[in-house]
Amino acid sequence: MLSARDVSRLLDVDHWHHEALIAYSPPPRAPIGIARYIRLDDFDAAEVAIEVADGWQHQGVGIALLVALTERARSAGIRRFHMSMLRDNVAARALARKLSPPNEPPTLSPPPAMSWS
Protein backbone atom coordinates (compact mmCIF):
# COMPACT_ATOMS: atom_id res chain seq x y z
CA MET A 1 0.00 0.00 0.00
CA LEU A 2 1.25 3.50 -0.81
CA SER A 3 2.01 5.88 2.05
CA ALA A 4 0.42 9.34 2.13
CA ARG A 5 3.88 10.74 1.25
CA ASP A 6 4.12 8.43 -1.79
CA VAL A 7 0.65 9.44 -2.98
CA SER A 8 1.41 13.12 -2.59
CA ARG A 9 4.69 12.67 -4.50
CA LEU A 10 2.96 10.78 -7.33
CA LEU A 11 0.32 13.51 -7.69
CA ASP A 12 2.85 16.34 -7.69
CA VAL A 13 3.17 16.57 -11.49
CA ASP A 14 4.63 19.95 -12.48
CA HIS A 15 5.37 19.03 -16.15
CA TRP A 16 9.03 20.02 -15.71
CA HIS A 17 10.72 18.08 -12.93
CA HIS A 18 7.93 15.53 -12.93
CA GLU A 19 5.71 14.47 -15.84
CA ALA A 20 3.11 11.72 -16.14
CA LEU A 21 1.35 10.54 -19.30
CA ILE A 22 -1.67 8.26 -19.46
CA ALA A 23 -2.63 6.13 -22.47
CA TYR A 24 -6.34 5.53 -23.13
CA SER A 25 -8.00 2.75 -25.08
CA PRO A 26 -10.25 3.54 -28.04
CA PRO A 27 -13.88 4.27 -26.91
CA PRO A 28 -15.01 3.75 -24.17
CA ARG A 29 -11.60 5.32 -23.43
CA ALA A 30 -10.41 3.47 -20.37
CA PRO A 31 -6.91 4.22 -19.02
CA ILE A 32 -4.58 1.40 -20.10
CA GLY A 33 -1.09 2.64 -19.29
CA ILE A 34 0.86 5.24 -17.38
CA ALA A 35 4.43 6.43 -17.64
CA ARG A 36 6.20 9.05 -15.57
CA TYR A 37 9.59 10.58 -15.04
CA ILE A 38 10.85 12.29 -11.92
CA ARG A 39 14.03 14.34 -12.16
CA LEU A 40 16.86 13.10 -9.94
CA ASP A 41 19.36 15.21 -7.99
CA ASP A 42 21.40 15.55 -11.19
CA PHE A 43 19.45 18.06 -13.29
CA ASP A 44 19.95 16.09 -16.51
CA ALA A 45 18.87 12.70 -15.11
CA ALA A 46 15.47 11.21 -14.32
CA GLU A 47 13.93 8.05 -12.96
CA VAL A 48 11.36 6.58 -15.35
CA ALA A 49 8.52 4.21 -14.46
CA ILE A 50 5.89 2.66 -16.67
CA GLU A 51 3.00 0.23 -16.37
CA VAL A 52 0.65 -1.07 -19.07
CA ALA A 53 -2.55 -2.94 -18.18
CA ASP A 54 -2.20 -6.71 -18.65
CA GLY A 55 -4.68 -7.03 -21.52
CA TRP A 56 -2.92 -4.27 -23.48
CA GLN A 57 0.67 -5.41 -23.17
CA HIS A 58 2.85 -6.23 -26.18
CA GLN A 59 0.74 -4.09 -28.51
CA GLY A 60 3.01 -1.05 -28.68
CA VAL A 61 1.45 0.94 -25.82
CA GLY A 62 4.61 0.88 -23.69
CA ILE A 63 6.96 2.09 -26.39
CA ALA A 64 4.49 4.78 -27.50
CA LEU A 65 4.21 6.10 -23.95
CA LEU A 66 7.96 6.08 -23.37
CA VAL A 67 8.77 7.77 -26.68
CA ALA A 68 6.31 10.58 -25.84
CA LEU A 69 7.57 10.79 -22.26
CA THR A 70 11.26 10.91 -23.11
CA GLU A 71 10.61 13.57 -25.78
CA ARG A 72 9.03 15.73 -23.09
CA ALA A 73 11.86 14.94 -20.70
CA ARG A 74 14.48 15.97 -23.24
CA SER A 75 12.72 19.30 -23.75
CA ALA A 76 13.02 19.76 -19.96
CA GLY A 77 16.79 19.23 -20.16
CA ILE A 78 16.88 15.56 -19.21
CA ARG A 79 19.50 13.52 -21.04
CA ARG A 80 19.95 10.39 -18.90
CA PHE A 81 17.24 7.92 -17.90
CA HIS A 82 17.14 5.20 -15.25
CA MET A 83 14.44 2.57 -14.91
CA SER A 84 14.38 0.14 -11.98
CA MET A 85 13.05 -3.34 -12.63
CA LEU A 86 13.39 -6.94 -11.62
CA ARG A 87 16.43 -8.55 -13.19
CA ASP A 88 14.30 -10.97 -15.27
CA ASN A 89 11.93 -8.30 -16.61
CA VAL A 90 12.49 -9.05 -20.30
CA ALA A 91 9.86 -6.58 -21.55
CA ALA A 92 11.24 -3.60 -19.60
CA ARG A 93 14.79 -4.41 -20.66
CA ALA A 94 13.65 -4.59 -24.29
CA LEU A 95 11.98 -1.20 -23.95
CA ALA A 96 15.20 0.37 -22.62
CA ARG A 97 17.12 -1.14 -25.54
CA LYS A 98 14.62 0.24 -28.04
CA LEU A 99 14.92 3.74 -26.57
CA SER A 100 18.72 3.82 -26.50
CA PRO A 101 20.71 5.09 -29.47
CA PRO A 102 21.85 2.07 -31.54
CA ASN A 103 25.53 2.77 -30.85
CA GLU A 104 24.97 3.26 -27.09
CA PRO A 105 23.15 0.24 -25.61
CA PRO A 106 21.62 0.69 -22.15
CA THR A 107 23.74 -0.26 -19.18
CA LEU A 108 22.62 -2.51 -16.36
CA SER A 109 23.25 -1.02 -12.94
CA PRO A 110 22.30 -2.11 -9.42
CA PRO A 111 19.74 -2.45 -7.88
CA PRO A 112 18.60 -3.95 -11.16
CA ALA A 113 18.11 -0.84 -13.26
CA MET A 114 18.62 0.02 -16.89
CA SER A 115 20.19 3.36 -17.75
CA TRP A 116 20.30 5.03 -21.15
CA SER A 117 20.78 8.45 -22.64
* Site of interaction with ligand COA (CB under 6 A): 49-52, 57-63, 83, 85, 89-92, 94-95, 98
Asked whether the beta carbons of 54 and 20 are under 8 A apart, the reply is: no
How does DSSP classify residue 1?
-
**Which is closer to ligand COA, CB of 7 or CB of 86?**
86
Helices (H) and strands (E) in the chain, counts: 3, 6
- Residue 89 CB, nearest distance to ligand COA (Å)? 5
Reported as type and span, the H/E element at residue 10 is helix 4-11
Point out the residue whose Cβ comes nearest to ligand COA.
62
Closest distance of CB 33 from ligand COA, Å: 7
Please report how close the Cβ of residue 74 comes to ligand COA at its closest, in angstroms: 19
| Gap between the Cα atoms of 115 and 71, Å rounded | 16
